[in-house]
Amino acid sequence: MAMGDLVFFVDFSLSFLMPIAFKEWAVTVRALAEGEQLITLRGDGLDGEDPFELEYDRFFLYPTFDHQSYDLVRESHQPELRRALEEGVWPDGEPSLHTLGAIQQPDRVRIRAWAEVAAHFTVTDPRAVDALSPFYVWTTNYAEKCLEWKRRDPLHVLLLRTYRIPRPVTVKVREEYGGENAWFELQRDLPFEGTPVLSDDEFERAAEAIEAITREAGQPVLA
């Protein structure tokens, strides 16, 4: 090779990295994308399961429809359950709300937002979960009923900064997207771009309030 020749080494493994998606109820995704919800909750694993780990700090929000239930969504936001059906595309049209809780995944879903984890807390006091209720749309007993939270175990509180992408993207629902795991790789290249759903000032005020609640509960900030 002659002097002056330039050699470029390309790491082709990077080209195969697909964006990570995080599964949440469609009504929750809708609330996050509209700035009506700022946190999500995760239990520390059921009996025999591994403890929850924050595997990624940035991900697309993937709407799911199975297990959604009227009685776990606050009454003021139950009308949003109808709008949340717009996050799916079914071959025979939107299912009836009467089947809520037994809705199978549609053929396709719409991805309209992504989020980054701004903070990660744990709580064990149910009073802290109640105090955080202005920042989620579920009922206050959502954690105990849906997450099967045992108060002796920590409940993970993820503060999310959510961004709406310029135009919703429809993706095919694949078999490998199912299961209990909250995370998976989307088989489509999507850029992390968009507009935050809350202004910097609005988000900072809410973040301070959320941190104060967890601090009063005596729980450390993990990240």
* Per-residue pLDDT tens digits for 82-110: 888 889 888 877 776 665 556 777 889 99
Please report the pLDDT score of residue 104 as a whole number: 72
Which range is most confident: 76-80, 187-191, 195-199, 218-222?
A: 195-199
Mean pLDDT of the region 33-38: 96
* Per-residue pLDDT tens digits for 170-217: 999 888 887 777 899 998 888 899 999 999 999 999 999 999 998 876
pTM value is 0.84
Q: How far apart are CA 85 and CA 71, in angstroms?
A: 17
Please report the pLDDT score of residue 57 as a whole number: 93
Instruction: Domains for the chain: give ranges and CATH numbers.
Output: 17-216 (2.30.130.30)
DSSP β-bridge partners for residue 162:
115
Please report the pLDDT score of residue 8 as a whole number: 37
48, 175 contact by CB (below 8 A): no
Residue 27 is given by DSSP the state: H
Please report the pLDDT score of residue 189 as a whole number: 86
* Per-residue pLDDT tens digits for 136-152: 999 988 888 888 787 77
Provide CB contacts within 8 A for 90, sequence distance 6+.
Answer: 106, 107
Residue 59: strand, helix, or coil: strand
In the structure, what pLDDT confidence band is assigned to residue 5 with cuts at 50, 70 and 90?
very low
Burial class of 112 by CB neighbour count within 10 A (0 to 12, 13 to 18, 19+): buried
Residue 22 is given by DSSP the state: E
